[in-house]
Amino acid sequence: MSATGSRTRLGRYELGKTLGEGSFAKVKFARNTQTGDSVAIKVLDKNHVLRHKMVEQIKREISTMKLIKHPNVVQLYEVMASKTKIYIVLEFVDGGELFDKIVNNGRLKEDEARRYFQQLINAVDYCHSRGVYHRDLKPENLLLDSYGVLKVSDFGLSAFAPQIREDGLLHTACGTPNYVAPEVLNDKGYDGTASDVWSCGVILFVLMAGYLPFDEPNIMTLYKKICKANFSCPLWFSSGAKKLIKRILDPNPHTRITIPEILEDEWFKRGYKPPSFEQGEDVSLDDVESVFNDSQEHLVTEKKEKPESMNAFALISRSQGFNLGNLFEKQTGLVKRETTFTSQCPPSEIMSRIEEAAKPLGFNVRKHNYKMKLQGDKTGRKGHLSVATEVFEVAPSLHMVELRKTGGDTLEFHKFYKNFSTGLKDIVWKSEAISEETR
């Protein structure tokens, strides 16, 4: 999208803002123009898939995920492709990440943590029964809908190259270091079922403690602690919770508790409600096949369209983000991964000021048209912090600027933009009403 803010159509979907971005894919918000339903669309680079010989694996993963209909797993609706991209249309979950709830509350009460853990185990158990392993389970991949129901995202899509060898084990070390099982780090092959169970145990610990069981700034020290399962439970954990967590965080995958055994655990069973759902109608996999054949007839194209005109003040009144008072702060108790503001300055000046504010904070800057990538030069808890910015034109004299985290740790991003905002305050537009109030 350029500075004029054109609207993009993809088949019957109208694409919106980017919700998340990784090394090989990005996720965009979209709306089905026929039904009005909101969806999330994961966009993959087709050349990357072909270059890494991942076609058969992705076909298998997507086909399996399309067949999985479970209340605690994000639903995969359909797959499309253009000449250069693959589009995976997913259920849009609007309640935020479970991670936000932990950051906001510090830790959850035991009953609430158990309720989320029960839903997590339901989802993991169901997917394992269909041969799908997540391998990157962490609170950031656990979403909540508007009713507070947990939904596992990226199940089977987080890692596209499981590479099961002749020994029947997985050999790709992946996942976030703090949550990965010892056998994954040892690189001798591992069972996807047992490694996912370990990650579930770390998540349960984090929900109840408010911090990680294994957390060291030095990666080798962290690995040693994980491989020895060197951790201790806080005093407020009940004896039942401690016993279960110690059986899950067993460094030996052969003696580690299994999901059937977790389902029989007394602490786990308290208030447990087995999932109730129906598989529903037959699911067609025709779209999955058509995405990967060479036929041109099934290809879709992204079409740019001019947006409907909207009074700038009406647009501003619809967004909390444009109020300078809460621009770079927590909103509704959540740690944000993105923020927006408006400016009456010319786009070139906005871009220059963003660059000037970012460089003293240790960020390298790459510019292209009205987009900018900020890459931190220091390695944080989850690699280098990276931020994408983009300038949109709302009206000839009014521009909206979007900033979003594209890599690194969310809390580090939160600290970054609180410092970053001080260098931008004089270019952020304020309404007369706000100006009067702050005099």
User: What is the predicted pLDDT for the residue at 327?
Assistant: 38
pTM of the entire structure? Answer: 0.66
Same domain, 88 and 110: no
Q: d(Cα 90, Cα 84) in Å, to the nearest integer? A: 20
- pLDDT value of position 101: 81
C-alpha–C-alpha distance, residues 306 and 120, integer Å: 42
Q: What is the pLDDT of residue 170?
A: 38
**pLDDT computed for residue 319 by the predictor:** 52
Domain identity same for 16 and 106: no
**Beta strand 76-81 with 142-144: parallel, antiparallel or unpaired?**
unpaired
Angle at 407 between CA 402 and CA 413, to 5 degrees: 65
Same domain, 23 and 39: yes
**Helix runs in 138-273, H state only:** 182-186, 192-209, 219-227, 239-248, 259-263, 266-269
Q: Name 259's Cβ contacts closer than 8 Å, sequence gap at least 6.
A: 121, 124, 125, 128, 193, 197
Query: Does residue 212 sit in the same domain as residue 83?
Result: no
Which pLDDT value is given to residue 279?
62
Those residues whose C-beta lies under 8 Å from the C-beta of residue 96, and which sit 6 or more positions away, are: 143, 144, 334
Statement to judge: residues 242 and 351 lie in one domain: no
Q: Which residues pair with 315 in a beta bridge?
A: none
Alpha helix segments (H runs only) across 129-191: 182-186
Binding residues for ATP, as ranges, are 42
55's enclosing H/E stretch is helix 55-67
Q: Do 180 and 153 belong together in one domain?
A: yes
Quote the pLDDT of residue 6: 56
Residue 379 within a domain: yes
Residue 364 structure tokens = 């390298």
Report CA-CA distances (Å) from 48 to 61, 64, 76, 161, 340.
16, 21, 21, 12, 31
* pLDDT tens track, the chain, 439 positions: 344 445 778 888 998 888 877 666 788 899 998 898 999 998 888 877 777 677 777 777 788 788 788 999 998 898 888 888 888 999 998 888 888 888 777 889 999 999 999 999 999 999 888 878 887 788 778 999 988 899 998 776 654 433 443 444 333 444 467 888 888 777 666 677 898 999 999 999 999 998 999 988 888 888 899 989 999 999 999 999 999 999 999 999 999 999 999 999 999 999 998 887 766 556 777 777 777 665 555 667 776 654 444 445 445 544 544 443 333 333 333 445 677 778 888 888 888 888 888 888 888 888 776 788 888 887 766 677 888 888 877 776 777 888 888 877 777 787 787 788 887 877 777 433 323 333 3
Instruction: Return the ∠ at Cα 314 (arms to 309 and 320), rounded to 5°.
Output: 125
Q: Is residue 52 part of a domain?
A: yes
Cβ pair 428, 438 in contact under 8 A: no
Does residue 261 sit in the same domain as residue 353? no
What positions carry a catalytic annotation? Answer: 136
Which among 170, 204, 197, 163 has a CA at the least distance from the CA of 186? 170
Does any domain span residue 281? no
Give pLDDT, residue 307.
Answer: 44
Q: Which range marks the domain in which residue 233 is found?
A: 98-269
Query: Do 165 and 144 share a domain, yes or no?
Result: yes
Query: What is the pLDDT, as a whole number, of residue 254?
Result: 92
